[in-house]
Amino acid sequence: MRRHSESYLAMKSILVTGGAGFLGSHLCDRLIERGDEVICVDNFFTGRKQNIAHLLEHPRFELIRHDIVHPLFVEADQIYNLACPASPEAYQFNPIKTIKTSSVGTVNVLGIAKRCRARLLHASTSEVYGDPSVHPQREDYWGNVNPIGPRSCYDEGKRIAESLCVNYHLAHGMEVRLIRIFNTYGPRMDPNDGRVISNFITQALRGEPLTVYGDGRQTRSFCYVDDLIEGMIRLMDQDLEIGPVNIGNPVENTMLELAQQVLIATGSRSEITHKDLPADDPKQRCPDISKAKLLLDWSPQVDLATGLKRAVEYYRALLAGDVEN
Ligand code: NAD
Ligand code: UDP
């Protein structure tokens, strides 16, 4: 008979869908560091092998190239469902595929969780609040989403995924956790995916104008990736609450303020230029994180200036060719 050490028995097998993406790759790192076994599933639509290259030879890490829109049979004790493009440019590239990933894909991943009796954490988003008329956003606000607008493939997809998780919980007693993630940034966010921080930093480093959409007075609240991953793992590992729980940094900035902060962090003399505001771009967004503070004893530790400095270092190395893209 095989004898297992205590650390082997304590080790969890954890499935991370979207594990080669920006957030997923940081999550894989943390879980491997903690001693768990990680199965990373990704179709590489927006993810990059480079994000997980350092893990490929690790004995507790396994990569499966797979699209969650198709069923998958693997064993896991916990599942983090992160698969879904997150940048507006990426999720609007093939809107029907985005809807399928959040709907059919989430059903498939819930199916794995049901069969394995695994706890599943689903990565939802502040976008379920749409263009919010309540500010800051608490979890009990139902949102203001245009169901037929250009962002609806993502927003409504994430809303149906929340509904699926809650109904699997009610119908089958499954353990689910819903995290509503607010804008998060840091190393490994794809420099070409069109999100504001990766755009501004790479533009500043190249000496190109920073493209502010609209008048730049719309707001977002930016959370550094390490803080976000800490909140995500705390939510998964507590036994009391299925969520949803907002995880984000409640310090709110206009896009013009952000552009100024990026110019300071990069030391760039780039100009600021204005482009058209995309349709249905939310005017304001800021999380109320009282629930995360109370339930998870969580609050962000990295301020924007510090986080931007770390992100700038990463993009500087990437543009210099020291980090592979
Ligand atoms: P990302 O685009 O870097 O990562 C998404 C990953 O999912 C990529 O690796 C992509 O290839 C993979 N993927 C997409 N569709 C798939 C499919 N059908 N099958 C398998 N893999 C698929 O984005 P991210 O910023 O890391 O976001 C991760 C998750 O967190 C997403 O679900 C996103 O909606 C959510 N989220 C992120 C933010 C943020 O600010 N980063 C905010 C709110 C919510
Ligand atoms: N934005 C901008 N310039 C860019 C990219 C985005 O001014 O080059 C704005 C965008 O209009 C939005 C905000 O920055 O108001 C955040 O955009 P992002 O795509 O990062 O995320 P989301 O809109 O999903 O919050």
What six digits make up the tokens of 19?
A: 């594990």
SS3 127: helix
- Nearest-CA residue for ligand 2 atom 18 is 195
Ligand 1 centroid to 42 CA: how many Å? 10
Quick check: 306 and 224 in contact, CB under 8 A?
yes
For 122-148, what is each residue's pLDDT tens digit? 999 999 999 999 999 999 999 999 999
Rounded distance between C-alpha atoms, residue 151 and residue 102, angstroms = 13
pLDDT confidence tier of residue 7, bands split at 50, 70 and 90: low
Quick one: which atom of ligand 2 is closest to the CA of 197? 20
Sheet holding 119-125, edge to edge: 61-65, 37-42, 13-17, 78-81, 119-125, 176-181, 245-247
For 29-39, what is each residue's pLDDT tens digit? 999 999 999 99
Mean pLDDT for all residues in the chain: 96
Does 1 have pLDDT greater than 80? no
pLDDT confidence tier of residue 4, bands split at 50, 70 and 90: low
Percent residues over pLDDT 70 in the chain: 96
> Is residue 91 annotated as part of the catalytic site, yes or no?
no
Ligand 1 centroid to 21 CA: how many Å? 6
For 145-169, what is each residue's pLDDT tens digit? 999 999 999 999 999 999 999 999 9
Catalytic residue among 80, 154, 185, 224: 154
**How high is the pLDDT of residue 67?**
98
Q: Which is nearest to 236 in space by CA: 9, 21, 8, 36?
A: 36
- Nearest-CA residue for ligand 1 atom 23 is 86
- Nearest-CA residue for ligand 2 atom 12 is 281
Fold of 12-186+224-250+282-301: Rossmann fold (3.40.50)
For 257-305, what is each residue's pLDDT tens digit? 999 999 999 999 999 999 999 999 999 999 999 999 999 999 999 999 9
What residues are in contact with ligand 2 under a 6 Å CB criterion?
Answer: 87-88, 183, 195-196, 199, 211-213, 218, 220, 255, 277-278, 281
Q: How far apart are the first and last CA of the chain?
A: 46
Q: Where are the domains of the chain?
A: 12-186+224-250+282-301
